[in-house]
Amino acid sequence: MIYRHTINSTAYVFPNLRDLLAKATPARSGDRRAGIAADGTEQMIAARFALADVPLRQFLNEPVIPYEDDEITRLILDSHDVAGFVPMSSLTVGGFRDWLLSDAATADTLRKISRGVTPEMVAAVSKLMRNQDLIVVARKCEVMTSFRNTIGLPGRMSARLQPSHSHDDARGTAASILDGLLLGSGDACISINPASDDPQVVGPLLRTLDDVIMRLQIPTQACVLTHVATTLGLIEQGLPVDLVFQSIAGTEAANRSFGVDLSILTEAREAALSLSRGTVGDNVMYFGTGQGSALLAKAHHQVDQQTCEARAYAVARAFDPLLVNSVVGFIGPEYLADGKEIIRAGLEDHFCGKLLGLPLGVDVCYSSHAEADRDDMDNLLTLLAAAGVTFIMGVPGADDVTLNHQSTSFRDALYIRDLFGLKRAPEFDDWLTRAGLTGQDLRLADAGLLPEFASRLLA
């Protein structure tokens, strides 16, 4: 189908829905690099006017990647909740935006339609929204998941404690865990980005995390962010695996570049469920995503990077994950050039993920060669907290020494919780009280407990 809109006597023509979505996207370097971005502001505005008039049902009739070419397209269309779509079926993209911003779009109604809207519908409507629109709608979305604690409850924000070490040193990792726990991080999970994917390295890291959690009786979950195939092998060896992690993307070809497909993710989820390690729930998957991953793999099919990112959320949604996080500025300025583009992308990702029913967190981060700084990240972090972000990262000193980018620190989580009056997962908050860790700065209530606490952790 051909789409058109005229501005100042200039007729802009878009040959298909894929091109229309790309041209309507807010400016970003990845789409410019791919040669699919709008030529200028006027063409971008024309595309948005045309997109606003597209019926939502058109996205079911015109896949941006053909059904026969891509298993993610097949997943999206085959799993579409027809009943959930009925309330939206008569709307255009513009009408969908108006409805989302209305009082009719409550937490309950948004939950009911979450599997009735497709990633492309959600990506499309985000392109018509200002930042404040993305924030106010995402704020209304409530998504709860659980394993050893309950994540996503209203008025709460979790933090992943990320004690990575550049050499996977056990004592260095344990010291970072201590630092994070004393500052109240770790309710999303305690998880390591290993420097090596070698099972002989990953296995001891899993045992270290499990030992800390079990000895200190912390109601949280552990994860080592290794490849899903490595995790499957470790499960077969009897290692203590709580969560299965995998980076995913929004096209079959991009996932193939990661060495995964839907079948291996299904196998991994079933293997993790068979361990029955959760105490309050059975959400056992953890996915990482990021705008630009499909383009980086030359597997984007000329689809804009934000729509590809939303399609990755369809993959995640199929496996009922505990956590999903957009590592928003990680890939670099070739895909998100500066602070403005990173902030916009972070808000888009959070909005799209939450609207699709996912427990979306954001790694508020940037690479050292991007035109961004800590002030940009403070701005994004604060906006995401206002939008009800599910979780953020807690990295020692905000410096991710494994992945070489700047993220958020344990104290950033304290700042945002204090500013918005946010609590942690209830089970984790209760544990902090029992452990004698109380107050805004989470100092030990009795300084005499510190040596004992540290010696148990570092023994």
Does the pLDDT at position 46 exceed 50? Answer: yes
| pLDDT tier, 196 (very low <50, low <70, confident <90, very high otherwise) | confident
| pLDDT tier, 457 (very low <50, low <70, confident <90, very high otherwise) | low
Q: What does pLDDT average to over the chain? A: 93
Return d(Cα 340, Cα 355) in angstroms, integer: 23
Return d(Cα 400, Cα 409) in angstroms, integer: 10
Asked if residue 338 lies in contact with residue 26, where contact means CB atoms within 8 angstroms, the answer is: no
In the predicted model, what is the mean pLDDT of residues 134-159? 98
| pLDDT tier, 440 (very low <50, low <70, confident <90, very high otherwise) | very low
Across-strand partners of 366?
Answer: 406
More confident residue, 173 or 299: 299
In the predicted model, what is the mean pLDDT of residues 125-154? 98
Q: Count how many residues are written for the chain.
A: 459
pLDDT value at residue 314? 98
In the predicted model, what is the mean pLDDT of residues 13-42? 97
Asked if residue 63 lies in contact with residue 302, where contact means CB atoms within 8 angstroms, the answer is: no
Return d(Cα 295, Cα 34) in angstroms, integer: 7
CA distances in angstroms from 432 to 163, 219, 263, 425, 445, listed in the order given: 19, 10, 39, 11, 11
pLDDT value at residue 101? 98
Tell me the backbone φ, ψ of residue 315, rounded to 5 degrees. Answer: -65, -50
In the predicted model, what is the mean pLDDT of residues 249-259? 98
Percent helix, percent strand, percent coil in the chain, to nearest 5: 50, 15, 40
List the Cα angle 341/342/348 in 5-degree steps.
90
pTM, 2 dp: 0.94
Asked if residue 118 lies in contact with residue 76, where contact means CB atoms within 8 angstroms, the answer is: yes
pLDDT value at residue 451? 55
Asked if residue 440 lies in contact with residue 228, where contact means CB atoms within 8 angstroms, the answer is: no
With the C-alpha atoms ordered 255, 16, 120, 324, is the resulting torsion angle positive or negative? positive
In the predicted model, what is the mean pLDDT of residues 344-373? 96
Return d(Cα 8, Cα 49) in angstroms, integer: 13
| pLDDT tier, 149 (very low <50, low <70, confident <90, very high otherwise) | very high
| pLDDT tier, 404 (very low <50, low <70, confident <90, very high otherwise) | low
Which are the contacts of 19, defined by CB distance < 8 A and separation ≥ 6?
36, 302
| pLDDT tier, 436 (very low <50, low <70, confident <90, very high otherwise) | confident
Instruction: Provide the residue type at 431 as one letter.
Output: W
* DSSP class of 27: P
Does the pLDDT at position 166 exceed 80? Answer: no
Token pair listed for 397 = 């000193």
